[in-house]
Structure 1
Amino acid sequence: MSDLKEVCAAVDEQTALDSLERFGDKWDAKYPKISKSWQEHWANLSTYFKYPIEVRTLIYTTNTVEGFNRQLRKVTKSKAVFPTDDSLLKMIYLAMMDITKKWTGRRKDWGTIHSQLEVFFEGRI
Structure 2
Amino acid sequence: IHYHVRSEGRIVKRAVYIALGIDMNGKKDVLGMYVGENESAKFWLSIMNGLKNRGVEDILIACVDGLNGFPQAIEAVYPKTEIQQCIIHQIRNSTKFVSYKDIKKLMADLKLVYAAPTEETALNELELFKDKWDSKYPKIYKSWHDNWATLSTYFKYPEAVRRLIYTTNAIEGFNRQLRKVTKSKTVFPSDDSLLKMLYLATMDITKKWTGHRQDWGQIHSQLEIYFEERLVGRNL
Range class of TM-score, shorter chain? 0.7 to 0.9
| Conservation of the 8 A alpha-carbon contact between 1:11 and 1:53 | no
Shift, 1:22, TM fit: 2.8
8 Å Cα contact 1:28-1:35 kept in structure 2: yes
Normalising by the residue count of structure 1, what TM-score does the alignment of the two structures yield?
A: 0.74
Counterparts of 1:60 and 1:9, CA distance in 2: 11
For residues 10-48 of structure 1, give each alpha carbon's deviation from its aligned partner in whole angstroms, at most 9, with x where no partner exists: 111111112212322333233211112222333443333
Does 1 or 2 have the higher relative contact order (CA < 8 Å, sep 6+)?
2
Partner amino acid for 2:195? Answer: L
2:194 aligned partner, one-letter code:
L
- Residue 226 of structure 2 corresponds to 120
RMSD of aligned C-alpha atoms? 2.8
Q: Confirm or deny that 1:8 pairs with 2:114.
A: yes
- Provide the residue aligned with 1:89 in structure 2: 195
Give the partner amino acid of 2:166: Y
Deviates more, 1:67-76 or 1:106-115: 67-76
SS of structure 2 residue aligned to 1:19: helix
- The one-letter code matched in structure 1 to 2:161 is V
Retained in 1: the 8 A contact 2:119–2:152? yes
**Structure 1 residue corresponding to 2:159, chosen from 53, 62, 70:** 53
Give the corresponding residue for 2:12. none
Which stretches in structure 1 are left out of the alignment for 5+ residues?
Answer: none
Give the SS at the match of 2:152.
Answer: helix
- Structure that is richer in helix per residue: 1
Deviation at 1:73, TM superposition (A): 4.1
Going from structure 1 to structure 2, the CA distance change for 1:88 and 1:45 (only over 3 Å counts) comes to closer
TM-score, length-scaled by structure 2: 0.44
User: Which runs of 5 or more residues in structure 2 are unaligned?
Assistant: 1-106
In 2: Cα distance, 1:107 partner to 1:26 partner:
40
Contact 1:7 1:19 in 2 (8 A): yes
For 1:90 and 1:120, locate their aligned partners in 2 and report how far apart those are by CA, in whole Å. 39
Contact 2:113 2:123 in 1 (8 A): yes
Q: Which residue identity is paired with 2:205?
A: I
Q: CA deviation at 1:60?
A: 1.2
1:107 correspondence with 2:210: no
Deviation sequence 1:41-93 (CA, Å, 0-9, x none) = 33443333222232122111322211212332454453234345543333112
Whole-Å separation in 2 of the counterparts to 1:71 and 1:64: 11
CA distance in 1 between partners of 2:153 and 2:188 (Å):
43
Q: Distance in 2 between matches of 1:93 and 1:12?
A: 41
- Tell me: CA distance 1:32–1:114, structure 2 relative to 1, closer, same or farther (3 Å): same
